């Protein structure tokens, strides 16, 4: 990982620019440029062949200035300490953009879950939580699914945490099975949030969804739900890709049939009526919207030069490098930044945590209505900031987020901050108002 693609260094730069643009003291940057806690764990697993293999995991907790830390856990062979540190900081700014009462966290284990049996995966999941339990909990740090983790794994982790604590703690983790206190609407929440802000952006740019086209890179939980929901809204999906291949049809893909195909074949490759294209070709398609929904650093300078879409909707975390971002800005392409675009997941996780605390659960329609209102409010706040300060949507999102974090630090007495720019107080009241 080079300095140009290191998530930790990228988000530090974004934080520093926001602090300068807001006219805040350098002390704000110094206080929030590093996570307050990084925990590294070694998790031994009894493998099916009788050997023991030790896996390395991390948990980064960035700041709890606005509430307990919140963030997913990913299982991936490329997990690193700097990755989870950077992602934990992005989570802080994502929750701040949405006005949620959380700070940011992120966790990861270096592994290839595709090479583990279900029993090995369960033992790894339980061991990871067992070693981290002293620094986690519903009032401390609340994990959730991320890359290569899912509700089943969250259920194992919840059970292990309950064993350590000796009592039921449903609010410890979100994205868990419904029967264990999960929230209706959580599975599709990130993709649904992407839909809401894409439709909002189309409205602002004068694009009719019924005549719009889109391409989606990444067809896991987020990408598949995004494609399905955009299709249901009338958008023609012409291309999708995953780690094993892609499906392209300039006339449009039959998304319901594609979802059935992927469930059976575990890839989009070979879908009847489609052809194969590379990710380079996908990003260069002449479509209205491109949705990067995979991993970080997908739109670099080379790809940004060839983008023809009017909107980039960042469903993944950190999918655009700084060089790519600068080129997209120069070319006038409207980017919906990740800390807004994919915030639907953490927002419905917040709803789940609230429901766990109350012991009262909402119907899915109510969950989706609350999500729509919050995503639209956040988009409108950032769009107004963009227009007022003549900056990009990403820069506007960081102005809003860093202002809220700095204001919380000021209110706690951690810092003395003089604010030179105003952020709408409706956002700063928090999500519950």
Q: What sign does the CA torsion over 398, 175, 171, 183 have?
A: positive
Q: How far apart, in whole angstroms, are the C-alpha atoms of residue 158 and residue 171?
A: 9
Contact 263, 220 (CB under 8 A): no
Which of 94, 106, 176, 370 is labelled catalytic?
Answer: 106
Instruction: Give buried/exposed letters for 142-164 (b at 16+ CB in 10 A, else e).
Output: bbbbbbbbbbebbbbbbbbbbee
Query: What is the per-residue DSSP string for 374-422?
Result: HHHHHHHHHHHHHHHHT--HHHHHHHHHHHHHHHHHHHHTS------S-
Tokens, residue 50: 């009788």
Contact 78, 420 (CB under 8 A): no
Nearest Cα residue to 225 out of 315, 140, 161, 147: 315
76 φψ region: left (φ > 0), alpha (ψ -120 to 50), beta (else): beta
User: Is 33 one of the catalytic residues?
Assistant: no
- By CB atoms closer than 10 A (0-12, 13-18, 19+), residue 188 is buried
Q: How far apart, in whole angstroms, are the C-alpha atoms of residue 292 and residue 423?
A: 29
Residue 280: count of CB within 10 angstroms of its CB = 10
Q: How far apart, in whole angstroms, are the C-alpha atoms of residue 173 and residue 52?
A: 28
Q: How far apart, in whole angstroms, are the C-alpha atoms of residue 318 and residue 336?
A: 12
Q: How far apart, in whole angstroms, are the C-alpha atoms of residue 329 and residue 247?
A: 29
396 φψ region: left (φ > 0), alpha (ψ -120 to 50), beta (else): alpha
Instruction: Give buried/exposed letters for 7-38 (b at 16+ CB in 10 A, else e).
Output: bbbbbbebbbbbbebbebeeebbebbebbebe
Query: What is the per-residue DSSP string for 192-258?
Result: HHHHHHHHHHHHHHT--GGG-EEEEE--SHHHHHHHHHHHHTT-EEEEEEETTEEEE-TT---HHHH
What positions carry a catalytic annotation?
106
């Amino acid at each position: 990982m080079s300095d140009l693609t290191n998530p930790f260094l990228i988000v530090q730069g974004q934080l520093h620019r926001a602090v300068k643009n807001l006219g805040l003291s350098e002390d704000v940057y110094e206080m929030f440029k590093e996570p307050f806690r990084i925990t590294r764990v070694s998790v031994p697993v009894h493998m099916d062949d009788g050997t023991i293999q030790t896996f390395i995991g991390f948990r980064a907790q960035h700041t709890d200035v606005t509430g307990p830390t919140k963030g997913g856990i990913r299982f991936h062979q490329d997990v690193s300490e700097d990755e989870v540190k950077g992602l934990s900081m992005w989570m802080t700014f994502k929750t701040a953009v949405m006005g949620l009462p959380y700070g940011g966290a992120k966790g990861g284990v270096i592994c290839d879950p595709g090479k583990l049996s279900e029993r090995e995966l369960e033992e790894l999941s339980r061991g990871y939580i067992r070693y981290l339990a002293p620094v986690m909990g519903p009032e401390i740090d609340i994990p959730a699914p991320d890359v290569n983790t899912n509700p089943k794994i969250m259920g194992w982790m919840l059970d292990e945490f309950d064993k350590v604590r000796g009592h039921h703690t449903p609010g410890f983790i979100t994205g868990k099975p419904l029967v264990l206190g999960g929230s209706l609407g959580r599975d599709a929440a990130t993709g649904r949030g992407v839909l809401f802000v894409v439709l909002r952006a189309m409205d602002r740019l004068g694009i009719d969804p019924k005549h719009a086209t889109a391409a989606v890179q990444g067809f896991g939980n987020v990408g598949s739900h995004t494609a399905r929901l955009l299709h249901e809204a009338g958008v023609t999906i012409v291309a999708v890709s995953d780690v094993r291949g892609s499906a392209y049809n300039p006339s449009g893909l039959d998304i319901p049939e594609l979802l059935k195909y992927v469930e059976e074949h575990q890839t989009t490759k070979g879908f009847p009526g489609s052809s194969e294209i590379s990710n380079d070709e996908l990003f260069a398609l002449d479509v209205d919207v491109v949705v990067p929904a995979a991993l970080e650093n997908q739109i670099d300078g080379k790809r940004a030069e060839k983008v023809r879409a009017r909107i980039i909707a960042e469903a993944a975390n950190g999918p655009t490098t700084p060089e790519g971002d600068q080129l997209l800005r120069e070319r006038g392409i409207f980017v919906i930044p990740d800390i807004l675009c994919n915030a639907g997941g953490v927002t419905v996780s917040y709803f789940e945590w609230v429901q766990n605390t109350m012991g009262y659960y909402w119907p899915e329609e109510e969950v989706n209505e609350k999500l729509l209102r919050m995503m639209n409010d956040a988009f409108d706040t950032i769009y107004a900031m963009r227009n007022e300060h003549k900056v990009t949507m990403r820069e506007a999102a960081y102005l809003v987020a860093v202002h809220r974090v700095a204001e919380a630090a000021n209110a706690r007495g951690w810092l003395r901050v003089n604010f030179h720019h105003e952020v709408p107080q409706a956002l700063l009241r928090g999500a519950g108002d």
